[in-house]
Structure 1
Amino acid sequence: MSVEVGQMAPDFEAKIETGESIKLSDFKGKKVILYFYPKDNTPGCTAQACNLRDNYEALQKAGYVVLGISSDSEKSHQKFIDKQELPFSLIADEDKRVHELFGTWVEKSMYGRKYMGTARTTFVIDEEGKIEEIIEKVKTKDHTAQILK
């Protein structure tokens, strides 16, 4: 499945770094930045998370809640948050259910080898739960500017 701008974002329930379960519908009435990234503590993913961290106040002023999501574990997310001092939660999607809902678990290729992995994609969701924008060409070091443009 993949989703498109103008559609309702698929609701899901998943665990964040603390082990607590959250649902996307918990954030109804707020704008949500749901960003899918490949792996904790890798250069591009760290650059992206730190860019969102460094501009977190501006994102909050614009009314956004930030949620990162990867297939890493809750424990991995907690270490990443602690190391990078991230002010937002990260969703552990180890079984890739949420990735499947949003169409971000895709076949990739590196050095001619094909494998499955996360397509770095950001979904901007409005207060009603509708997808307002999908950013597929994420600039990891300047991601906030892409969102707030």
Structure 2
Amino acid sequence: MLSLGKKPKLTFKVDALVDGKPVNGPFADLFDGPTIVSVYMRNNTSACDKQAAEMGKNEKAIVRQGFRLIAVSRDNCASHTKYAAKHGYKFTLVADPEDLFSKALDAIVEKSMYGKKYLGPLRAAYLFDGDGKLVGVIPKVEAAEHGKQLLAAIAAAK
């Protein structure tokens, strides 16, 4: 995983849902000051829905602390649009079907489902300062407690 204090190369292009509108551009352009990026696997799955709900429930508190909130999954932008509308999410949702964000942070790990092993993104959250440097990591997201995890990580990073 990328070391704290380092700035990942986030020049790859992504599709994202920003303020309810689809956009395409470099991932780094989504950063506007201190930013939290939370990685989850899929929209409309049990644990991921809990994780996203915790982000939505705590977004205002996170913004008050000076951070922008971005969620990244393999889902496409059309899926994100429906997902955000269904749940009322205002935070940015990024489509990353090739796990480019996690690859940039060297956070691809071996996983197992139904006995089959495969590589995929670490379910984690990353805090970046206004210069895009990594200042905090939640290496093991607890979906039902993710909002508390994010607020604690912000406090620890200050």
- The verdict on a shared fold, with TM-score over 0.5 as the criterion, is yes
Tell me the CA shift for residue 72 of structure 1: 1.1
Moved more, 4-13 or 48-57: 4-13
Alignment of 1:116-131 (within 5 A): 116-131=119-134
Identity of paired residues, percent? 28
Partner of 2:155: none
- The higher relative CO (CA closer than 8 Å, separation ≥ 6) is in 1
Segments of structure 1 that go 5 or more residues without pairing to the other structure are none
Tell me the CA shift for residue 99 of structure 1: 2.7
- Distance in 2 of aligned mates of 1:22 and 1:48: 25
Q: Taking structure 1 as reference, are residues 27 and 89 closer, same or farther at Cα in structure 2, changes over 3 Å only?
A: closer
- Distance in 2 of aligned mates of 1:59 and 1:44: 21
TM (norm. structure 2) is 0.84
2:57 paired residue among 46, 54, 57: 54
Partner of 1:113: 116
Partner of 2:91: 88
Tell me the CA shift for residue 117 of structure 1: 2.5
Partner of 2:14: 14
Q: Is the 8 A contact 2:108 2:122 kept in 1?
A: yes
TM (norm. structure 1) is 0.88
Tell me the CA shift for residue 21 of structure 1: 1.8
Segments of structure 2 that go 5 or more residues without pairing to the other structure are 153-158
Partner of 1:78: 81
Q: Taking structure 1 as reference, are residues 104 and 40 closer, same or farther at Cα in structure 2, changes over 3 Å only?
A: farther
- CA-atom RMSD in angstroms: 1.8
Tell me the CA shift for residue 51 of structure 1: 0.7
Aligned residues: 148
Q: Is the 8 A contact 1:51 1:144 kept in 2?
A: yes
Tell me the CA shift for residue 69 of structure 1: 0.6
Q: Is the 8 A contact 1:124 1:132 kept in 2?
A: yes
- Distance in 1 of aligned mates of 2:43 and 2:114: 22
